Structure 1
């Protein structure tokens, strides 16, 4: 399964072989083939308003030899990553997560900051889920929805509240990547063993990461720390 390499500001997940990865990551989103999923830690000051982030990130990844990797950005210390696994009925899922909630939102609304509808600071939940069974494209899309559901449940349970009292459900810049081989498993919903292990691995990883963040920053999002 997954092996990790950490050299701040880089966290690299090696999937063991080229896999089909589905994500909405800043670098190589959609369905792609990749062996590595890469986190790049940044500070708020790195992403200035005049910076072409996509171009900068592409060049930065190329310098590291990761042009063909899937790439994510986070302001969370990448050394604070959480790794969780779940297994049932011979099916296993592994979730790697970095959890920052400085950019927290409640779904269905946006907090206006400095006259805009999103944060000028960065804090995000980045997830990579690797599944050890072969999936159809439709099942991989369904797996992404299960991962999103588990992430939201974990954030709700961490108790973070926005200044207006709403419970946070995620952040404005969350990213999820699902890695699996191509195969014939057609369903990964909540009634399946695959859906169970995906949901449990993600919930465990995000719960631990969110709990750590709340312990460091408090249970109410005051602005965007």
Structure 2
């Protein structure tokens, strides 16, 4: 699938693929099924998002100014230098994950939560080198979400004595080539699912460990008891 090109310039982290990809996400500015060759992150601070500022408008404007108006776009308060890139293979399938991980806005699914007082999110750009149809992209998104959640839970970060499962502002982009025989199945027991799951789990785990170490001074965190 060619090696993705990762660039970090000023407040923007970008990963560009060798060719146009089908992408699926809930990006603020390019959600749903789209074609693009780049996924880009904008770094923001609390001061960038006072009450009344439209986050989507801010993201769209700054990305356009930087020449990334066609990218699938995300934003984060995480130090973009702390990104983690992992490529893993299962059989004939290769998967790539670029992750930024912050848990300042962490929570546990199903538990009541208040609006976030702090910024901090998990943003993922994930690519598999096999063309997928829409059902395959949707299933791959479910695998990526499982892998992210497993990694966060294995860190054991707690909110109100409950182990966090993610943050309230996570965003995931899954991508695949537009050319080739499109596959429908990307579940846990497929090579596609295995490659995706491994790459995402390792990238998120590394990023979460780094974030926790920064916040607590601990270098390693075990599984929650």
Query: What is the TM-score when the length of structure 2 is the normalising length?
Result: 0.92
Residue 52, structure 1, aligned to residue 50, structure 2? no
Secondary structure of 2:182 counterpart: coil
Mark the runs of 5 or more structure 1 residues left unpaired by the alignment.
Answer: 112-116, 220-225
Alignment correspondent of 2:31? 29
Note the 1:10-159 alignment, pairs <5 A: 10-111=12-113, 117-159=114-156
Alignment correspondent of 1:3? 5
Secondary structure of 1:216 counterpart: helix
Task: For 1:120 and 1:204, locate their aligned partners in 2 and report how far apart those are by CA, in whole Å.
Answer: 28
Structure 1 residue 110: Cα displacement? 3.0
Residue 172, structure 1, aligned to residue 168, structure 2? yes
CA contact 2:14–2:41 (8 Å) conserved in 1: yes
Note the 1:204-219 alignment, pairs <5 A: 204-218=202-216
Secondary structure of 1:141 counterpart: helix
Structure 1 residue 212: Cα displacement? 0.5
CA contact 1:124–1:173 (8 Å) conserved in 2: yes
Q: CA RMSD in A?
A: 1.1
Task: For 1:49 and 1:152, locate their aligned partners in 2 and report how far apart those are by CA, in whole Å.
Answer: 30
Secondary structure of 2:186 counterpart: coil
Task: For 2:164 and 2:67, locate their aligned partners in 1 and report how far apart those are by CA, in whole Å.
Answer: 37
Mark the runs of 5 or more structure 2 residues left unpaired by the alignment.
Answer: 219-225
How many residue pairs are counted as aligned between the two chains? 213
CA-to-aligned-CA distance 1:91-124 (integer Å, 9 cap, x gap): 100000000000000000133xxxxx22132100
Alignment correspondent of 2:183? 185
